[in-house]
């Protein structure tokens, strides 16, 4: 079986190892939502990853919904992202953009408009950026759906033009595509609701549009099967997401990225059996568990989140067995350099 540090070919993506940097919202883009020099430094520090998946990035003003997160729909945004991709490539890294639409998890205080979703079903609890209850979204019209599918495609095309090596469609964690997939949030009675074949239609249309824009070999998608995340529920998560993975085979994608709690195996076994291409799994792994997953054939690569926040040289640390820096959760979203670009590298620790 492959080592965590062996190279991997995933479509057109040539990964120097199988230690993947998971998408991590860090709230450093500011009110302009524009990537900046600080973000370029942060990503370049982590270019030792086999693949960097960018933080979730809004494909449109409608899809935005997290204060100080980046966008990718204005010339200024794209100019900022070009700085990031150039810095990563100069450091020898590979990076894809994660395409994000928040759907019902947005808020009118951030967008000036009522959020939309497959159905008029609000998320529970309080919006983390505006500290108000989530709003009841309006149900998307067919024109809304058509326009949003086009927004995904245009953003994907812009990402490649900005120097990204590919894109990842965000279909996980309770955001718009996930809202269509699950029967807890999708109550439609038209061609986009009801039976799974209909609930998967939006995901498949988005994927087709992105593939048409940039190529299947530069397109990945992220899914998450667990119930309870950001008010998400499905009556049959194993069935829903195993079927989703099977449907995605038609595109011959570069990879499928599954956010699945370590050893929970809600849908992993089914997805591993049906999905034909590269499978990346994420959540809760250390070096030992990651290698066990590769040895067992459960995945082809492992994505790490918080460990990459605190350890810009994570692949080197895992390979050498070095101690890991511990992340400071109080700095995850607060802005500035602290807890962002100031975690020490192994070389700095050794010199001290």
Local confidence band at 107 (pLDDT 50, 70, 90 cut-offs): very high
pLDDT (0 to 100) of residue 237: 94
Local confidence band at 1 (pLDDT 50, 70, 90 cut-offs): confident
Q: What share of the chain is helix, strand, coil (3-state, %, to 5)?
A: 40, 15, 45
pLDDT in tens, 67-85: 999 999 999 999 999 999 9
Strand 13-15 relative to strand 8-10, pairing: antiparallel
All structural domains of the chain: 8-351 (3.20.20.70)
pLDDT (0 to 100) of residue 114: 97
pLDDT (0 to 100) of residue 111: 96
pLDDT (0 to 100) of residue 347: 74
- 4-13, 27-36, 245-254, 258-267: segment of lowest average pLDDT: 258-267
Local confidence band at 188 (pLDDT 50, 70, 90 cut-offs): very high
Q: Known catalytic residue: 238?
A: no
pLDDT (0 to 100) of residue 261: 85
Q: Kindly tell me if the per-residue pLDDT of 116 is higher than 70.
A: yes
Q: Kindly tell me if the per-residue pLDDT of 309 is higher than 90.
A: yes
Sign of CA dihedral 169, 88, 33, 135: positive
pLDDT (0 to 100) of residue 265: 76
DSSP class of residue 329 equals G
Q: Kindly tell me if the per-residue pLDDT of 349 is higher than 80.
A: no
CB-based contact 279:260 (threshold 8 Å): no
- Residue range 283-305: average pLDDT? 96
Local confidence band at 267 (pLDDT 50, 70, 90 cut-offs): confident
Cα–Cα distance measured from residue 62 to residue 193, given in angstroms and rounded to the nearest whole number? 22
Q: Kindly tell me if the per-residue pLDDT of 124 is higher than 70.
A: yes
Q: What is the pTM of this model?
A: 0.97
% of residues, the chain, pLDDT over 70? 99
List of residues 6+ apart from 34 with CB closer than 8 A: 70, 71, 74, 76, 77, 79, 80
The DSSP result for 251-297, as a single string, is: G--SEEEEE--TTT-SSHHHHHHH--SEEEEESS--HHHHHHHHHTT
Count of CB atoms situated within 10 Å of the CB of 91: 14
- Residue range 172-182: average pLDDT? 98
- Residue range 208-219: average pLDDT? 98
Q: Kindly tell me if the per-residue pLDDT of 350 is higher than 70.
A: no
Single out the catalytic residue among 175, 255, 293, 343. Answer: 175
pLDDT (0 to 100) of residue 351: 47
pLDDT (0 to 100) of residue 352: 46
pLDDT in tens, 230-256: 999 999 999 999 999 999 999 999 999
């Amino acid at each position: 079986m492959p080592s965590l540090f062996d190279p991997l070919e995933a479509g057109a993506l040539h990964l120097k190892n199988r230690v993947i940097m998971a998408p991590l919202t860090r709230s450093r883009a500011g009110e302009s939502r524009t990537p900046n020099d600080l973000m370029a430094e942060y990503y370049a520090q982590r270019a030792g990853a086999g693949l960097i998946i960018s933080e979730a990035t809004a494909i449109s003003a409608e899809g935005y919904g997290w204060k100080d997160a980046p966008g990718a729909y204005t010339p200024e945004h794209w100019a900022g992202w070009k700085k990031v991709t150039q810095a990563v490539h100069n450091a020898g890294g590979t990076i894809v953009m994660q395409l994000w639409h928040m759907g019902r998890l947005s808020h009118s205080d951030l967008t000036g408009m009522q959020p939309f979703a497959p159905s008029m079903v609000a998320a529970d609890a309080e919006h983390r950026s505006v500290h108000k209850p989530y709003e009841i979204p309006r149900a998307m019209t067919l024109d809304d759906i058509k326009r949003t599918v086009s927004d995904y495609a245009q953003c994907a095309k812009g990402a490649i033009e900005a120097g990204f090596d590919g894109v990842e469609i965000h279909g996980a964690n309770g955001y718009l595509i996930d809202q269509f997939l699950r029967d807890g949030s999708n109550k439609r009675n038209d061609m986009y609701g009801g039976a799974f074949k209909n609930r998967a239609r939006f995901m498949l249309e988005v994927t087709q549009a992105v593939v048409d824009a940039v190529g299947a070999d530069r397109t990945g998608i992220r899914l998450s099967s667990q119930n309870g995340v950001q008010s998400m529920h499905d009556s049959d998560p194993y069935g829903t997401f195993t079927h989703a993975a099977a449907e995605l085979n038609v595109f011959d994608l570069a990879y499928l990225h599954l956010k699945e709690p370590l050893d929970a195996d809600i849908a992993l076994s089914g997805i591993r059996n049906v999905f034909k291409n590269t499978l990346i799994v994420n959540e809760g792994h250390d070096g030992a568990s990651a290698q066990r997953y590769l040895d067992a054939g459960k995945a082809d690569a492992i994505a790490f989140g918080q460990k990459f926040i605190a350890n810009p040289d994570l692949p080197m640390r895992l390979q050498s067995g070095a101690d890991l820096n511990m992340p400071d959760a109080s700095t995850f979203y607060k802005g500035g350099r602290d807890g962002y670009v100031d975690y020490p590298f192994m070389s700095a620790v050794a010199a001290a």
